[in-house]
Amino acid sequence: MKIHPEGYVIILVAFLLLATVNALLRWLSPHWLHCTIAGASIVFFCMIVWFFRNPNRPLTPDVNKVFAPADGEVVAIEEVEEPEYFKDKRIQVSIFMSPLNVHVNRYPVSGIVTYVKYHPGKYLVAWHPKSSLLNERSTVAVRTESGQEVLFRQIAGAVARRIVTYPKAGDTALQGADFGFIKFGSRVDVFLPLDAHIRVKIGDKARGNETVLADFKSD
């Protein structure tokens, strides 16, 4: 199983701490207690490693498709006013990531990164309607070859406390490549042109690099 680089330090620190605690308990506690804590430590460590998994999901770039940037449940599809960058109406598709989902964030389209902005903020639950505007978040916009612009926003939740965003304005975005990571549960909003054809519905389980959220083709 491939591990995302964002997990290397956390996994190492967790291993050293758990190994130290269990070594001390082996000498200082009853055998039954040491065995119980050792078992719990193994389960906890495996959960940490599992959280930072980075499955290989190659895709063939398609200029007409918008792929899901994250794993999780589609919790909102609505026409909204996007106030930060576009300042006009867009279709918002929101994906909620539980702590059990893969937390790698991938570019939904290829093109040139036109905008990147980090905002400190609150830690409301990720499905709260105001979380997109009030929570800690990071916004990225990409202009495709055809001139379409897609904006996607990483949003921290009640548990997530660290958003990692790699690109800078002017960078080249490659559809399917990693653009960031959110640690321990959160949400990603995608803002699309009003004429985009939405290919998911609320309640669908999205998979990054596999689920097509929308396309720009006419029926």
Q: Which residues are known to be catalytic?
A: 186
CA atoms within 13 A on the CB side of 178: 17
CA–CA separation, 8 and 33 (whole Å): 30
Helices (H), 52-153: 131-134
CA–CA separation, 114 and 105 (whole Å): 18
Tokens, residue 42: 């193994």
CA angle 115, 130, 158 (to 5 degrees): 95
Using N-to-C axis directions, what is the helix angle for 31-51 and 8-28, rounded to 10°? Answer: 180
Tokens, residue 111: 């093109």
Task: Specify the residue for token string 């029926």.
Answer: 219
Phi, psi values for residue 172, rounded to 5°: -90, 125
Chain centroid to Cα 104, Å, comes to 5
Chain centroid to Cα 52, Å, comes to 11
- Amino acid letter, 9: V
